[in-house]
Structure 1
C-alpha cells in the first residue's frame, strides 16, 4: 500500500515480496466478494436548469468500502488523521492476507451506526451500510443483501422490527409535515443494548399512527415478524444485540422503500389505464 506523507512524497505502508500478481488480484477480488453491500454514499452534484441551484444525487452501488471509508465509519469523518492512517494500515493485511478484521474496529463501527441522532443523515446512512459490510465480513456468514424473510435469529428479527417501526412513523411524520426524528431513530442506541424493553416503548409510541387504515400493512408486518421468533422467551430476552440487527434493519428498510415505489408505480399505471379507457 502507498501513503502520501506529504506533497511529492510516498511511503510504503504494506509490502509483500512473496506474493505473485495473480494471487494478489485473487485476494483483492475475494475481499470485494465477501465484503460487498449496497451503499448510497457516492454522489453527483447537478445544476438545476430552472433554479440554477446545485442538487446532490446519491448513486447506489454494490461493493466493498475503501479502507479509508471503513476508518471513518469506525471513528468518524473528523477523526484524527493518525487514527485513520493507523486503521487503514491495520486493514491492509485483512485485504491482502485474508486476516480477520480487528474486532475493535467492527465494534466501534457498530456503536457509531447505532448512535444515529449524533450524525447528519448522509453520514449515518454511509456509516450504516459500511458497518453492514464490515459485520458481514467479520462474521464470515454469507448474509444476503436482500431481506431474508426466512431468517429467524433473534438479532435479525429485532432489526426488522426496528426498521418497520421507523418507516411507519417516518411516513406519518412526513404526511403531517413534522420535521423530527422518529422514536426508532432516537432510541436506536439503547435498543441495541435493551431490545425488548425498548421495543415496548417504541411500539407504544406508535399508537397514534396505528389507528389509521394506512397503518394496517405495517401492523400486520410487525405481527408477522414477531411470530417468527423461536419462542416467547427468545423475544423477551433483553440482552445486547450484535451487529446482525443492523444488517436486518438495512435490508428491511430497503424493502419498505421498494414497496412504496411499487405502490406509486401501480397507482400511476392505474391512472394511465383509466385515461386510456376514457379515450
Structure 2
C-alpha cells in the first residue's frame, strides 16, 4: 500500500502549496471529476434564469470545456439502464424537468427525478451551499429546455416546434452545439449535452461573490465533500492514516484520459463469483481497509500528476513525482541535447593543416580538415551540459524528499493494473537518470524548438524510440508497452539493471539494413543501435565491460571497430565523388552494408574495387582530400593483424560504433574547418 500512502501524502502537501494551487493545472478536489461541458447556464442566487451559452475556445469556435464537477462514487463510474446522476452539473436529460414532459422524442427513461432527489438531499443537509440551493430552486421550475431554446442554444425540430431536433448531420446547423456532441445511433441527441452552472448576484444590494463559476468555487467543493462523506456510514480501521474513519466501498476511476472507465482498484461483489481466500464476510471488510477520503485523495493526486507531468499513450501511463509536488525530471522524457555542430564551431586546436579549397556539399564537405579533438571537447561539454541540466532539480528537491515512479496499464476498458512501482531518494533518482543519459548517449538528430530546424546533438534514446527501432514504426501498442516496461527499470534503477540483449540485437539488425528504411528512419536506427550497444557493455560486469566513447577512438584496434571505420571512409569518398558528378543515389557502402556485417573481408574487397572509379574521378579536382582519405585507410589497415583482417565471420554491433563515430568525425572536422574559413574572412 506504499503507493497509496505516497499519493495521499502528495495530495495533502500539494493542496497546502499556494504556488501549486495557483497553476493552471491545479489539484483536483476529491469527490469530484473532470467532465467535458458543452453549455454554461447562468442563473442568479434566487434561482432565476439569466442567460445560456455554448462553450467555445479562444477563437470563438464551438468546443467543450474540461471542468471539475461534484460527483458520487456511483456517478463517476455510472452505467446501466438509469445511470446514477451527478449532484449538481449533469446532462440536459438529467437536469431539465421539461425534457421528458414534451421536448424529448419517445423518452424511455426519466433521469430527472433521481437527479432532483440527490440535489435536494444535499440542500436539506447542514452542508448546504448557496449555489447548490440556487440551482435546485431553478431546476424545480422545469423550464430549462425552453430557456435554452429561447437562448438559441438548443435546436428545435423544424417540423414540430415542440420537440428537439435529432439531426443526422452537424453541417446542417453550422456553429451550433452539435459541433461539440457525439452521435448516438446515427443522430445527435441534444439531451446528452452537459451543463455547468454560473451563479451571479440577483441585485446590487446582494453581496458580490468572488467566484461565480461553480467549477471554480472551493467553498462549494468543500460543502459537497463534507456532505458526501456522511453518506458512507461503515466505519473501520484505515491502514493508511492509522485511524478509524468511514471506509471506502468503491474506488474512483477516470485516472487515464485514454481509458476513463478503467479502475485501479475494483470493488468486491457479493453475488457474483469472487475468490475471497480466507475471508468469510460478504462485504470485504476483513481485508485491509482504506478510508473513503484517502482513496479519493490518492486517486485525485494520481490523476493530477499524470495530466501535469506524466506520459500517457495507448492505455499506458508513466509518471515520477515527489511527495511535495515539486516537478521532477521524467524518466521517459528526453534530456536537453548538446548541439555538437555549434560546439565544433567553437572548439578545436591551433594545429595548421594543408588548406585545400573548402566546399560544403549536402551533409558532407571537402577541403581543409583540421584534427578536431572532440573526444575531449565534446565529452567535457556534454558532461557539463547534462550536469547543469540536472543540477536545478537537485537543488529544488529536499535531501530526504522521496521520489516515486509508477506505471499503469489499462488491459480492458474497465480494468487497470499497476505494472511497475519504484521508490528512491532524490539523489539516487537523479544519479540514475544521469547514468542513463551518460552511458546511453550518442549522436542523435533532433528538432530545435527555437529555430524549428533539425540539429545534430548528443542525447540518449527514449523508450518509445527504442521500441520503434527494434520492431518498426508500425509496431502494435501492446509491443510498444512491453518495450517501455523493459526499458523503464534500466533508467530509474541505474546500473543495477542491464538492458535486455534482445533489444540491442534487434536495433543492430535494423541499423545494418539502410536500403529497407527511409533515410531519417535509418539515421534514427543507427543512432539508437549505437547508443544501446555502448550502454549495454558499459553496464556489464568487470570481465565483460567495455568502455566506448561517443567520439572516435583511434586507439581502439578491435577488428569490428576498424572494419566500421573502413566502411565510413569508403562511403565518404564515394559521397563526394557522386556530389561532384551531380548524382544522387546510395553509395556502394550503403548498398553492401548488410552483407558487410555478415562477411566483412569478402565484402570489403568488392567495396574497394567499386571505389576505384570514384577515386580516379577525385584525383583531378580533389587531390588533397583524396590523399588524406587514402592515408587514413592505410592507417586503419595497418592497425589490423593479418589473421583478424582475413577473418570473414559476422561483425558485432561494435562495427556500427566505429562506422558512425568516423562519419561524425568527418562532419565535425568539416564544420570546424568551415568556421575557421569564415573567421579568416571576417578578419580580412
Q: TM-score normalised by the shorter chain: which range applies? A: 0.7 to 0.9
What does residue 196 of structure 1 align with? 601
Q: How does 1:38-117 map to 2 (within 5 A)?
A: 38-43=443-448, 57-97=453-493, 98-117=496-515
Q: Distance in 2 between matches of 1:261 and 1:21?
A: 39
Residue 261 (structure 1) aligned with residue 513 (structure 2): no
Residue 228 (structure 1) aligned with residue 639 (structure 2): yes
Q: Distance in 2 between matches of 1:130 and 1:166?
A: 20
Q: Distance in 2 between matches of 1:4 and 1:189?
A: 43
Q: Secondary structure at the match of 2:670?
A: helix
Higher helix share: 1
**Deviation, structure 1 residue 171:** 1.0
Q: Distance in 2 between matches of 1:22 and 1:271?
A: 49
Residue 243 (structure 1) aligned with residue 653 (structure 2): yes
Q: Secondary structure at the match of 1:142?
A: coil
Question: How many residues end up aligned between the 2 structures?
Answer: 261
User: Aligned-pair RMSD on alpha carbons?
Assistant: 2.2
Q: Contact conserved, 1:44 with 1:58, CA < 8 A, in 2?
A: no
Residue 170 (structure 1) aligned with residue 578 (structure 2): no
TM-score, normalised by the number of residues in structure 2: 0.36
What does residue 530 of structure 2 align with? 132
Deviations 1:175-230 (A, max 9, x none): 1111110010011111111011111111110001222124222111111110011x
Q: Secondary structure at the match of 2:466?
A: helix
TM-score, normalised by the number of residues in structure 1: 0.86
**Deviation, structure 1 residue 5:** 7.6
For CA contacts below 8 A with separation 6 or more, give which structure has more relative contact order. Answer: 1
Q: Contact conserved, 2:515 with 2:591, CA < 8 A, in 1?
A: yes
Q: Distance in 1 between matches of 2:648 and 2:672?
A: 36
What does residue 6 of structure 1 align with? 258
Q: Contact conserved, 1:73 with 1:127, CA < 8 A, in 2?
A: yes
Q: Distance in 2 between matches of 1:7 and 1:171?
A: 53
Q: Contact conserved, 2:577 with 2:615, CA < 8 A, in 1?
A: no
Q: Secondary structure at the match of 1:177?
A: coil
**Deviation, structure 1 residue 20:** 3.4
Q: Secondary structure at the match of 2:468?
A: helix
Q: Secondary structure at the match of 1:242?
A: coil
Q: Distance in 1 between matches of 2:656 and 2:681?
A: 38
Q: Distance in 2 between matches of 1:171 and 1:270?
A: 25
Based on CA coordinates, which of the two structures has the bigger radius of gyration?
A: 2
Q: Distance in 2 between matches of 1:148 and 1:158?
A: 13
Q: Distance in 2 between matches of 1:26 and 1:272?
A: 44
From 435, 448, 456, the equivalent of 1:30 is: 435
**Deviation, structure 1 residue 63:** 2.1
Q: Distance in 1 between matches of 2:520 and 2:482?
A: 25
**Deviation, structure 1 residue 79:** 1.5
Q: Distance in 1 between matches of 2:457 and 2:678?
A: 27
**Deviation, structure 1 residue 256:** 1.1
Call closer, same or farther: CA 1:255–1:267 in 2, change over 3 Å.
same
Q: Distance in 1 between matches of 2:431 and 2:666?
A: 36
Q: Distance in 2 between matches of 1:185 and 1:253?
A: 13
**Deviation, structure 1 residue 45:** 9.2
Larger deviation, residues 105-114 vs 204-213: 204-213
What does residue 53 of structure 1 align with? none
Q: Secondary structure at the match of 1:206?
A: helix
Deviations 1:148-175 (A, max 9, x none): 1111000110010000001111111111
Q: Distance in 1 between matches of 2:256 and 2:612?
A: 55
Call closer, same or farther: CA 1:272–1:93 in 2, change over 3 Å.
closer
**Deviation, structure 1 residue 4:** 5.7
Deviations 1:113-141 (A, max 9, x none): 00111111111111111111100111123
Q: Distance in 2 between matches of 1:80 and 1:175?
A: 44
**Deviation, structure 1 residue 268:** 4.8
Q: Distance in 2 between matches of 1:206 and 1:266?
A: 31
Could you list the structure 1 runs, at least 4 aligned residues long, displaced by more than 3 angstroms after superposition.
7-10, 19-22, 41-46, 262-273
What does residue 219 of structure 1 align with? 630
Q: Distance in 2 between matches of 1:80 and 1:4?
A: 20
Q: Distance in 2 between matches of 1:143 and 1:268?
A: 33
- The runs of 5 or more residues in structure 2 that have no matched partner are 1-254, 263-316, 318-407, 409-417, 539-545
Call closer, same or farther: CA 1:190–1:14 in 2, change over 3 Å.
same
Q: Distance in 1 between matches of 2:677 and 2:429?
A: 51
What does residue 615 of structure 2 align with? 210
Call closer, same or farther: CA 1:148–1:168 in 2, change over 3 Å.
same
Larger deviation, residues 206-215 vs 146-155: 206-215
Call closer, same or farther: CA 1:6–1:258 in 2, change over 3 Å.
same
Call closer, same or farther: CA 1:45–1:178 in 2, change over 3 Å.
farther
